[in-house]
Amino acid sequence: MRYLFLLLIALFTQCTPSTTSEAPRPNIIILFCDDLGYGDLTCYGHPTIRTPHLDQMAQKGMKFTNFYAGSPACTASRYALLTGRYPVRSGLEWVLFPHSQLGMHPKEKTLAEGLKEAGYATACIGKWHLGVTKADYLPLQNGFDTYLGLPYSNDMLPPRYAPIPLIQGNDTIESGPDQTTLTKRYTEAAIDFVQQHPSDPFFLYFPYAMPHVPLNPGEAFAGKSERGKYGDVVEEIDWSVGQIIDAVAEMGLAENTLIFFTSDNGPWLTQGANGGSSGLLRDGKGSTWEGGMREPGIAYWPGQVPANSVCTSITSTLDLYTTCLSLAGKEAPDDRTVDGRDISSLFLDDKRALSDSPYFYYGPDNRLQAVRHGKWKLHIRTNSQLQVEYFDKKLPLLFDLDTDPSEKYDLSEDFPEIVAQLQSTLVYHRDQVAQEGTFWDETRE
């Protein structure tokens, strides 16, 4: 009997899940558009651009309605996503050019570097825009195992600049590639990367070249959208998203893969029909009004992210950094300020804890312009891509974004105590950032 009892104990132990075992680390895919507006997807209200795959992704996952980019411009926004830090901490211009001498500082700890330490295979496919004049600034020197893409924006072309290179690894494989093929080529490369990693965890960062101008839809999509060429490009990106989701599902990885879709900043409104829509939000790219900063955000992870759910919590691309590291079992670096917070609870158990108050920066000097705390947003400086002087240049401006997401009704005179509180928050934040400086400041010393 004694031996039978021990045998039963052994069998019970083997069949009972261990309470100390670690949860499997999910694969992570971040799909990152360029200049896509808050109102450019069907599931965010666009009447003619058809985005069935993104709509289904939102229906089967979580749609974020208060999700912010790290900046209203390209370089700064990508820095924020990959480091979890406000772009003012980068020491970079908010947009780098082919001749720009700085790039991602070697001391920065990118999301790819953190996930690589956790055993992830890593790939960047698409637009980099974080430095190109030295190999040290390129993706392979910043945590990525593989890279295919353009090193900066697709409009940085002759005659002002040399033909744009298509880079694989650290090498130029084409000069002035046919941009009508980019979305398809990137999608094929992304699927190939996924298929190479059926068992080990992987991180795919896929920053599309468009709908940044010039608009170059692929042959299969050109002339097909009611919205014109801009719609063609967005609908091809939607197709690409569907291809990625299908590839993950076909490999049996859907229930262990988090896919997040968003954009780097709002739409380029001065491009007329070639620019996007910020929907009900004011202004667009290059401004800290809601239209420049608030973006579509969709999280998809079958069995983990609740289907057909909407998250109204204030979140941002900075939060993706800390969240992805947490899901991989890694802590964010503790030897520097990381501004993003772990929002995985929003995905996994629907806790409504808010991120810290997001701060809004603008321009080559990364000047602090606004802050949001709860429903309140305070502007102490404003600008407009459209060169419009809203509110007759009055400052400060206070808005209740819960009831007025379009920022139409200034409440600063009705709530002076809120204005004073948020002004103090801005001063404290600005002083802290100034005291810390940047890694580039240290290098210059």
The SS3 call for residue 168 is strand
**Whole-number Cα distances in Å, 203 to 200, 206, 299, 319:** 10, 10, 15, 16
* Annotated catalytic residue 129: yes
Residue 283 has pLDDT above 50, yes or no: yes
Residue 85 has pLDDT above 60, yes or no: yes
pLDDT the model gives residue 19 = 31
Which band of pLDDT confidence, cut at 50, 70 and 90, is reported for residue 32? Answer: very high
Across 62-76, average pLDDT: 96
Give the active site residue among 33, 46, 53, 74.
74
User: Greater confidence, 318 or 351?
Assistant: 318
pLDDT the model gives residue 39 = 98
pLDDT the model gives residue 11 = 32
Q: Omega of the bond prior to 211 within 30 degrees of 0, cis?
A: yes
Residue 422 has pLDDT above 50, yes or no: yes
Is domain 359-444 given the CATH code 3.30.1120.10 in the classification?
A: yes
User: Exposure string (b/e) for 34-47, b if CB count within 10 Å is 16 or more?
Assistant: bbbbbbbbbbbebe
Which band of pLDDT confidence, cut at 50, 70 and 90, is reported for residue 274? Answer: very high
Across 205-226, average pLDDT: 98
Q: What value does the CA radius of gyration of the chain take, rounded to a whole number of Å?
A: 22
Give the active site residue among 46, 53, 105, 129.
129
Q: Domain locations in the chain?
A: 27-348, 359-444
pLDDT the model gives residue 7 = 34
Superfamily of structural domain 27-348: Alkaline Phosphatase, subunit A (3.40.720.10)
Long-range Cβ contact pairs of 70-73 (< 8 A, separation 24 or more): 70/316, 70/317, 70/318, 71/264, 71/265, 71/293, 71/361, 71/362, 72/265, 72/266, 72/285, 72/286, 72/287, 72/288, 72/292, 72/293, 72/360, 72/362, 73/264, 73/265, 73/285, 73/286
Which band of pLDDT confidence, cut at 50, 70 and 90, is reported for residue 289? Answer: very high
Across 171-195, average pLDDT: 98
Which band of pLDDT confidence, cut at 50, 70 and 90, is reported for residue 17? Answer: very low
Lowest mean pLDDT among 101-105, 313-317, 348-352: 348-352
Per-chain mean pLDDT for the chain? 92
* Annotated catalytic residue 311: no
Q: pLDDT digit string (tens) for 124-142?
A: 999 999 999 999 999 999 9
Residue 388 has pLDDT above 60, yes or no: yes
